[in-house]
Amino acid sequence: MNRHDASRTPAKTSPTTFHVKSFGCQMNVYDGERMAEMLGTQGMTAAADGGQADLVILNTCHIREKAVDKVFSDIGRLTREDGSRPMIAVAGCVAQAEGGEIQRRARNVDIVVGPQAYHRLPDLIGKAGRGEAAVDTDMPLASKFGALPARTKQARPTAFLTIMEGCDKFCTYCVVPYTRGAEISRSWLAIIDEAKALVDGGAREITLLGQNVNAWEGEDDKGRAQGMDGLVRELAKIGGLARIRYTTSHPNDMSDGLIAAHGEVDKLMPFLHLPVQAGNDHILKAMNRSHSAESYLRIIERVRAARPDIAISGDFIVGFPGETEAEFQDTLAIVEQVRYAQCYSFKYSPRPGTPAADMDGQVAADIMEDRLARLQALLNRQQADFNAATVGRTTDILLERKGRHPGQLIGKSPWLQSVVVTAPELSIGDMVDVTIISAGPNSLAGETVRRKAA
């Protein structure tokens, strides 16, 4: 049976089991967890994989190149050998960007739901089961978070917590303002309550999420205006919470208070992901980044003055339209000045509907590939140097998962490095002091010194 024949085979009208497959950023992971919790409150049960589920939700990301094609490839693989298939929902940013076009291209898709509307997923499942149109890509002014159920207990030592969504920056290469909408900050009390629920469920580390997470603003329980620094300080008061992280930040939203918090709040980890994207001011202006290379470097200086041992991470795009070799050299220069602990770097790829997609001076693929290789070689050397400098240091590690070999456990250092220890007497969720004994390009090895009290 070909793909079009399979599309005529009806999915189960009242699914009782589901599987969520999330792609891309941490916020998608969070959204996937929240969808799963919501379906659980509807009496549905999670299945181990899509092959066993009555409903499969593809929670998509639109940031990477060819994201749409990958979604349709996954949709095609959901048809089973006997010609049957699960009910299929496409959620997330690809759903928001493509809307009903997804169902026109893939007739076996039953539901299309954007990232601001997934709280209405139970209603969409009901519509799809009745054979009705089930597309919802609205961006309501009211936040979806108030419609989601309370967090369920999760036996994991780390957790994500979305505190704001959307973006008002409109970088010319980016689809986020169009797929996630305008910036919306969740309320102070909702964030504190969810954080407490996560800690009660076993989380010892919480990562605060947002497209521009440090743009969060709100009022505390006394009606006082607060920025993210005030929120971090309040979260640090939660007993049992050992670590706080946040991602992703924008340079323009690095307030004095947040910089100071890095030096004053022990639970705020010494790690900052602060993308600059390029090192040349002409390219930054074309990207609509609203900061200069110099202003970015001054922020890094101030953060390091507040917390000298902080690890800096970032994002880079090479081959942005019009980028010359000399302008690319400015990117290499800023990397040399900052000395990154780790980084993400990509070739520019046009996103339909973004201003950069129609700019003159699109850079040839082979030139982009060459620039990316040179940039990544430098970034990899810096990461290796940062990891090597950790050898001999004793630091605390939060154990998160099992390793490949018996007795091995893997956790994260305060600087977000993966650390492998052989300690069969320890358990996932333990916080331990570890002496780093060796460093590889992507992970460290350590010897346990002692378990720390909860």
pLDDT digit string (tens) for 9-23?
Answer: 445 578 999 999 988
Number of residues written out for the chain: 454
Which carries the bigger pLDDT value, residue 142 or residue 385? 385
Residue 423 corresponds to which tokens in the numbers above? 């300690």
For residues 454 and 452, give the distance between their C-alpha atoms in angstroms, rounded to a whole number: 6
**For residue 397, what are the β-bridge partners?**
432
pTM of the model: 0.85
Give the confidence band of 143 by pLDDT, cuts at 50, 70, 90: low
For residues 210 and 5, give the distance between their C-alpha atoms in angstroms, rounded to a whole number: 41
* Mean pLDDT of the chain, nearest integer: 90
Report the Cα–Cα distance between both ends of the chain, in Å, rounded. 56
- Three-state secondary-structure class, residue 182: coil
Residue 244 corresponds to which tokens in the numbers above? 């706080």
Distances (CA, A) of 169 to 142, 260, 358: 21, 24, 19
Residue 353 corresponds to which tokens in the numbers above? 């509907």
Residue-wise pLDDT for 186-240, tens only, equals 999 999 999 999 999 999 999 999 999 999 999 999 999 999 999 999 999 999 9
3-state helix, strand and coil shares in percent for the chain, rounded to the nearest 5: 35, 25, 40
CB 54 within 8 A of CB 15: yes
Report phi then psi at 327, rounded to 5: -70, -35
Burial class (CB in 10 A: 0-12, 13-18, 19+), 248: buried
The answer, yes or no, to whether residue 386 has pLDDT greater than 90, is yes
User: Worst-scoring range by mean pLDDT, 51-65, 183-197, 259-273, 421-435?
Assistant: 51-65
Q: What is the pLDDT of residue 153?
A: 65
Strands 205-209 and 158-162: parallel
Nearest CA among 237, 386, 255 for reference residue 309: 386
With a CB cutoff of 8 Å and minimum separation 6, the contacts of 222 are none
Burial class (CB in 10 A: 0-12, 13-18, 19+), 216: buried
Q: What is the pLDDT of residue 1?
A: 34
Which carries the bigger pLDDT value, residue 264 or residue 8? 264
Residue 18 corresponds to which tokens in the numbers above? 């589901």
Which H/E stretch holds residue 121?
helix 121-129
For residues 29 and 366, give the distance between their C-alpha atoms in angstroms, rounded to a whole number: 33
Nearest CA among 115, 119, 136, 138 for reference residue 63: 115
Give the distance between the most distant pair of CA atoms in the chain: 64
Residue-wise pLDDT for 102-139, tens only, equals 888 888 899 999 888 888 899 999 999 988 889 988 87
CB 167 within 8 A of CB 290: no
Q: What is the pLDDT of residue 181?
A: 85
For residues 243 and 175, give the distance between their C-alpha atoms in angstroms, rounded to a whole number: 31
Strand extents, DSSP E, 223-341: 225-227, 243-247, 271-273, 311-318
Q: What is the pLDDT of residue 63?
A: 67
Average pLDDT over residues 276-280: 98
Residue-wise pLDDT for 20-72, tens only, equals 998 878 888 888 888 998 999 889 999 988 788 999 999 988 766 566 777 88
Average pLDDT over residues 364-376: 98
- Three-state secondary-structure class, residue 391: coil
For the beta carbon of residue 452, count every other beta carbon within 10 angstroms.
Answer: 13
For residues 333 and 328, give the distance between their C-alpha atoms in angstroms, rounded to a whole number: 9
CB 209 within 8 A of CB 27: yes
Nearest CA among 414, 357, 350, 10 for reference residue 204: 414
